[in-house]
Chains A and B, each alone.
Chain A
Amino acid sequence: MSEPAIELRGLSHRFGEGEHAVSAVQDISLSVAAGSFVSVLGPSGCGKSTLLRVLAGLLVPTAGQALVRGRSAIATPGLVGYMPQRDLLLPWRRALANATLGAEIAGEPVEAERERARGLFQQFGLAGFEDVWPAQLSGGMRQRLALLRTFLIRSDVLLLDEPFGALDAITRRAMQAWLQDVWMRDRRTVLFVTHDVEEALFLSDTVYVLTERPGRLLTHVDAPFARPRLPSLVVEPAFVQCKALLLEALDRGAPGG
């Protein structure tokens, strides 16, 4: 178990070629221990999503290595459960069929997977909505269904890209507490991307901070708060202190800072 679940070594990526090349991320090295919840925090457009797309096997980086449980993830999809920024529910599948998409693609028996999914619908606050179309769900429910689909993927490494980015602040706070709950049941490794300082700190064991584009690793801050964490944690002095550290780091990472 000493082997990290996720490891990035000197990862760089540039989009385009020659003079028009845009550097997205530069020389990122980090590792995530198995069973921990780690966030990557940075301003919009700092290349956070690029890291996840590399780990999901969808993007071949210009340089560096990306390992999942010791295996190279580069151009190797299927090693992780990946949740992109948009919910990307397939409009032509009812809620339950959307949830079991991963199993169907992996060629697993769909009947058993449906039963597994039905159980989770309760946990994810979606009970009774198994047979509706995605278009009939509210924003928060769509996001929970997308998360459910990700959690059903049989991988102990999950990559979540700003899953609550599109939600209003109140729904967002409720979803954060709930995500911690769901995560604590089986404690899979999570790499979580966000631009919300409080969200990163509330959910994570460790928060990595990226600079503005091109994203470089600035620092990391540990969040050693006992779990389960209560929503009131965010106003406790120790939490506020960590938050100040992160905000200061983000300011340093901004141009001219």
Chain B
Amino acid sequence: MQYLPALLLLAALMAVWELAVALLDIRPYLLPAPSRIWSAFLRIGGTLPHHTWTTMAEATLGLALAAAVGVALAALIASVGLVRRVLYPLLVASQAVPMIVLAPLLVVWFGFGMAPKVIVVALVGFFPIVVNTVDGLLGADREMVGLVRSMGANRAQVLRHILGPSALPAFFAGLKIAAAYAVVGAIIGEWVGAGSGLGIFITRSQASFRIDQVFVAIVIVALASILLFALVQLAARLATPWMYVHERKDEG
């Protein structure tokens, strides 16, 4: 089984952690042992699906928004040279604005609902999608474009038959990066204020010194990120099946 080494390592780390906390007599409000985190999970487990659901919904919607905006921007940047020169530096600069600074402003502008969280996720995620998709579109084989043009293809057909499919793997590479950060993005969005969600759950737990609960949330955030990443991976496999065939070198 391919994940066995990773699971063994994880189990070993847990054992070391558990032992270290017991032997060094570390206070639970500084670092709770895995067993304590587990019992916290059993105690508060009932409230978690609600928070997790909120955060996952924000992350997924934000990712979808990032993909839509990212692809539109990429198409514009790749097809118009002027847009490329004007917009690309701005996009890079936009990544220099810390989300921690932006998140409170978004709450002021868009209220305490879902909107500001979705926007934070989209802001974190659209950049790798744009950069990768632009590279994919510009990296399309010029001779392939020539081939379909010689068959009489118009611009839309060149986009559909050559540029689009050749940019698809790059788009998914960007989407995977965005997916890995989406859940964390949603949590940053919730930090400032929210009715429910893992971010607000973490804030409340910290305020009442329930560090074991914070760790429970961290584990769930990690699992949620892995789930989202795996879903994107699955979508990539379904949408670009030719990327997963083994090449045949022998003569036939």
List A residues at the B interface (Cβ < 8 Å). Answer: 53, 56-58, 77-78, 80, 82, 84, 86, 88, 90-92, 101-102, 104-106, 129, 133-141, 153, 171
Contacts and interface: CB of A to CB of B under 8 A. Distances in A.
A158 B246 CA distance: 33
7 contacts: A58-B150, A77-B153, A101-B151, A101-B161, A105-B148, A133-B242, A135-B245
Given A88-B144, A92-B165, A135-B247, A153 B252 contact: no
Contacts, number: 78
B250 interface: yes
Given A77-B151, A105-B153, A136-B247, 7 more contacts: A53-B146, A58-B150, A101-B151, A104-B161, A105-B151, A105-B161, A139-B251
Interface residues of B, number: 28
A139 B251 CA distance: 7
Q: Say what secondary structure dominates the interface of chain A.
A: loop
A57 B151 CA distance: 10
Nearest to B165: A92
Leading 4 A-B pairs by shortest Cβ distance: A78-B152, A92-B165, A56-B150, A82-B150
Contact of A90 (B144, B149, B251): B144
Contacts of A102: 151
B150 A80 contact: yes
Interface of B: 141, 143-144, 146-153, 157, 161-162, 165-166, 168, 240-242, 245-252
B147 A84 contact: yes
A21 to B, nearest CB: 21
A188 to B, nearest CB: 16
B240 A92 contact: yes
B151 A137 contact: no
Contact of B251 (A58, A88, A105, A140): A140
B150 A88 contact: no
Contacts of B247: 135-136
A106 to B, nearest CB: 6
Nearest to B147: A88
Contacts of B246: 135-136
Contacts of A101: 148, 151, 161
A48 B242 CA distance: 33
Nearest to A53: B146
